[in-house]
A and B are shown apart, each in its own frame.
Chain A
Amino acid sequence: MRAGRVAGGTGIVLLGALAVVAAVGPWLLGTDGRERVARPYAPPSAEHWLGADDLGRDLFAQLVIGARGSLGIALLVAVAATTVAALVGGLAGLVPPWASALVMRSVDLILALPFLPLLILAAAFLGPSLGVRAVVVAALLWAGPARLVRAGVLAAWSRGHLQAARAMGASAWYLLWRHASPVVAPLLVPVFVRAAMTAIVLDASLAFLGLGDPTLPSWGTMIHWASVRGAMLTDAWLWWALPPGLAIVATVTALALVGVATEDRLNPTLRQAR
């Protein structure tokens, strides 16, 4: 119990800090991370805390602005995927069986596709803008959660109090709103968290492969250039490749902590076992 609470608390504090950096940070910087402000390959200094990249752009500024990109796509994708999953899963008990079966077959179908290769293909053909990436990632990520939500909704439908309300002549919307949604809503927290985590890692991988948005600094793109421009062969990896990687790890871990904490709280078997 306490370990779970500590984990969840740590995760939330960390996420909050990152969100503040992403929201306010770029305003406090003197540069937008895209212009040349220092000597190329400059080591860290009082002026440029993490030095500069091969084009003389400030790396610390890129790191701060990257937080905005990573959290932004995480939020966008997680909101979209969770909404679609909630809608599709939530309708499980309401729509005719054939429609439900159709949706589930498409879920299976999407889950059988290898995500990253598909994402690469889409980004290569359609261009790497934030919108395209978010839409494609969300289009792939709703499927797993939809299956989860559906299972939750179906379990809720079999609950006694819902069946009782049904026998009283309650409409489907009443049942869904008053009886099913309070049961299913907590499920959406881990769903949201997982989607956000996956979006961050997928997006960073894409950027690392050179398919990031060239107009916007991001953590994945920083690592990409660090790798391509040979930062790993000198001490530059310390301030060029390490910080964005650590930033990704910190963000995803924070999300994971929140997710694990809520998942453990949701499982009644585990709660009893304590």
Chain B
Amino acid sequence: MLTVTDLTVVYPTGQPAARGVDLTVAAGEIVALAGETGSGKSTVAKALLGLLPAGSTVTGSARLDDVELVDRTGRDWYGIRGSRIGIVPQGAMTGLNPVRRVGDQLVEIVRLHTGASRPAAIARTVDLLGRVRLPAATAHAYPHQLSGGQRQRVAIALALAGEPRLVVADEPTTGLDLVTQNHLLDLLVDLRTRSQVGMLIISHDLPALRGVADRIAVMYAGTLVESGPATGAAHHPYTRGLLAATPSLRRDVAWTSIPGTAPARAELTPGCSFAARCPWTSGTCHTDRPSPVALGPAVVTCHQPSADRPLLFPTVAVPPAPAVPPAQGRQPASPDPGAGHGGTRSPEADHGGPRAGSGAPVAVLTGVGHVYRSRHRRTTALAGVDLRLSPGTILGVVGESGSGKSTLGQILLGLLRPTTGRVEVAGTDLSPLRGRRLRAVRHRLGFVAQDPYTTLHPAMPVADLVAEPLRIAGVPARLHPDRVRRALHLAGAPADLLDSRPDQLSGGQRQRVAIARALVGEPVLLIADEATSMLDVSTRAGIASTLRHLADTIGLAVLFITHDLGEAVQACDRIVVLHEGVPVQQGPPRDVIDRPRPGYPADLVAAAHRHLGPDPVG
């Protein structure tokens, strides 16, 4: 139905964003186009719909049935966009017209593409809402009255309104919690089955798509590196690396990262674009561009594809895992912290694994709760949190957005005063502290925030950024250079970054600078609030591995806040599951995964299993 051949897109700046992409989507088929930031996957989607910025050049061909999509301009798209190809745009949740009712927006698109009368279009709207499993009354709602998942369903209904042959969905689940993501993916499968519409789903979340799509295509640096059946084995080292970079719920499955960073655009290197990061490179990889090779039903663009050759990517040093980054002073690890006694101790007494005994706790929270008050409403953000953070251990806090996990971090930093309970940091009770003395406590804590693109002041060079906590704490300036260099080293950031500014760094490098900045004050506790969630999948494990290394070598205590259960399992010694502000389960990772409490923990674990799909092959 859709046949893309040798599609190449060059942006007005002259940079190629996609090169020689071949892709097909059959009627009733779901094809996933996966890749990381800058891989060109969204560019391909935009090219199919003529939504590229003016001045972009598109060559090659993309045919939908008998219609050529390339080389159309302006009015040529009438009758195609929205009617033959429906789109669920990126960020569709925030892209509904805020001042018109959902029903009116649906009726508009239905009438536009089918020419139906108003009563007929209203009837169709009710039908469409039913197909995306929303009640008919949704038609009377304004977008702000709906949840993110509901708005995404409306966006899907809008894509279906013109009865298209093909639906292109750009990151349709990004920004939603896991359970909602699963529901949405189920919905897409169901829609495909019932209406025989073809679907092209663009996503960075490769494992999630394996359970949904019929076929998967993976892009890297503007080129298609591999495509094949979703359930088949992966052959390209990048595809396999990407799968292995997704944290499994099983600690015996290694969590790896791909070293280096992806080029921001499709650079015209003479050889394979992945060669710089590939563990298997040989001479030809650097000199000759690989051509697509058929391996059974799959097509792989690699000089030496293999589904079983060991990957040799660095992995996170989970205690029982074999591959460990070199580290001095690493204490012998027991096979699995808490394995023998999980679930039998009370949550409070059971703090941390074997390495936790190496010192007094650096932070103790007792019965901590927080209630936000606005004029007419009280919102409980946290209730009854008992935690103990010990040197050398990583404590994971897992929860979806709104679960109170960030509130917890703010309370530890003394930025928020808990409404109930007691917080003790480094032996000091925070509650009587005010002003200067409260701020002094923060000098002993390190904080790494979620978004390295905003937390680093864009005009400051790395040296100044990392030295900022020292400046704030009043450390004499002559001591700064040494401590900055040491912190950068500990954070795994190359020292030659010192003079760079944030916009010259990749996301992963930025986050390492942020970690260095958190370390420079020699803190007793590092709070990492979703520190990996903005990063490309392939670099996340690297950050976690650095944190593990710090815990082991300098005995740092880490509070690792995340929405990703798999990450928590791989990175932490203990996990606290937060739901609506309440710690619903606490214990070693294996306990939480194997014996989740009924209710939210069980749902979360089930959703995570379901989301990760079949265990990665390779």
Contacts and interface: CB of A to CB of B under 8 A. Distances in A.
Interface of A: 159-161, 163-171, 174, 179, 182
A165 B468 contact: yes
A167 B449 contact: yes
A163 B409 CA distance: 13
Contacts of A171: 436, 439, 472
A169 B440 contact: yes
A168 B455 contact: no
Interface string B467-499: 011001100000000000000000000000000
Interface string B154-194: 00000000000000000000000000000000000000000
Contact of B472 (A159, A161, A170, A182): A170
27 contacts: A159-B454, A160-B449, A160-B453, A161-B456, A161-B457, A163-B455, A164-B449, A164-B455, A164-B456, A165-B468, A167-B415, A167-B442, A167-B447, A167-B449, A168-B442, A168-B447, A168-B473, A168-B517, A169-B439, A169-B442, A169-B443, A169-B469, A169-B472, A170-B472, A171-B436, A171-B439, A171-B472
B413 interface: yes
Nearest to B409: A167
B336 interface: no
B439 A160 contact: no
B468 A168 contact: yes
State the 3 A-B residue pairs at the shortest beta-carbon distance, nearest first. A160-B454, A169-B442, A167-B447
Contacts of B440: 169
Contacts of B415: 166-167
A167 B456 CA distance: 13
A169 B454 CA distance: 18
Contacts of B457: 161, 179
B449 A170 contact: no
B134 interface: no
Nearest to B454: A160
Nearest to A169: B442
Interface string B410-453: 00010100000000000000000000100111110101010101
B459 interface: yes
Given A168-B469, A168-B517, A174-B472, 11 more contacts: A160-B456, A161-B457, A163-B455, A164-B456, A164-B514, A167-B445, A168-B442, A168-B443, A168-B473, A169-B443, A169-B472
B588 interface: no
Nearest to A179: B457
Interface in B366-410: none
B521 interface: yes
Interface of B: 413, 415, 436, 439-443, 445, 447, 449, 451, 453-459, 468-469, 472-473, 514, 517, 521
A155 to B, nearest CB: 12
Nearest to A168: B469
A182 B459 contact: yes
B521 A168 contact: yes
| Interface of chain A: mostly helix, strand, loop or mixed | helix
A21 B457 CA distance: 43
A62 to B, nearest CB: 49
A160 B447 CA distance: 12
A168 B447 CA distance: 7
Contacts of A174: 472
Nearest to A174: B472
A179 B464 CA distance: 13
A98 to B, nearest CB: 13
A4 B442 CA distance: 45
B447 A164 contact: yes
Greatest chain A CB density within 10 A among B415, B439, B441, B457 is at B457
Contact of A160 (B451, B472, B473, B517): B451
A64 to B, nearest CB: 44
Contacts of B447: 164, 167-168
Nearest to B440: A169
A63 to B, nearest CB: 46
A168 B514 CA distance: 12
Contacts of B413: 167
Contacts of B473: 168-169
B615 to A, nearest CB: 37
B449 A169 contact: no
Nearest to B529: A167
A163 B514 CA distance: 13
Contacts of B456: 160-161, 164
Contact of A161 (B439, B443, B454, B469): B454
B451 A170 contact: no
A174 B470 CA distance: 13
Nearest to A182: B459
A259 to B, nearest CB: 25
Nearest to A159: B454
Contacts of B451: 160
Contacts of B514: 164
A163 to B, nearest CB: 7
A238 B415 CA distance: 67
Given A167-B447, A169-B443, A161 B455 contact: yes
Nearest to A171: B439
Contacts of A165: 468, 472
Contacts of B455: 160-161, 163-164
Contacts of B469: 168-169
A92 B85 CA distance: 49
A69 B350 CA distance: 78
A183 to B, nearest CB: 10
Contacts of B441: 169
Contacts of A170: 439, 472
Given A168-B521, A169-B439, A163 B472 contact: no
B338 to A, nearest CB: 30
Nearest to B447: A167
Contacts of B454: 159-161
Contacts of A159: 454
Contacts of A166: 415
A210 B393 CA distance: 79
Contacts of B439: 169-171
B451 to A, nearest CB: 6
A157 to B, nearest CB: 12
B449 A163 contact: yes
Contacts of B442: 167-169
Contacts of B443: 168-169
Contacts of A182: 459
Nearest to B470: A168
Contacts of A169: 439-443, 469, 472-473
A161 B469 CA distance: 12
A161 B380 CA distance: 27
A168 B445 CA distance: 7
Nearest to B465: A161
B467 to A, nearest CB: 11
A165 B458 CA distance: 14
A164 B469 CA distance: 10
A160 B441 CA distance: 21
Nearest to B472: A170
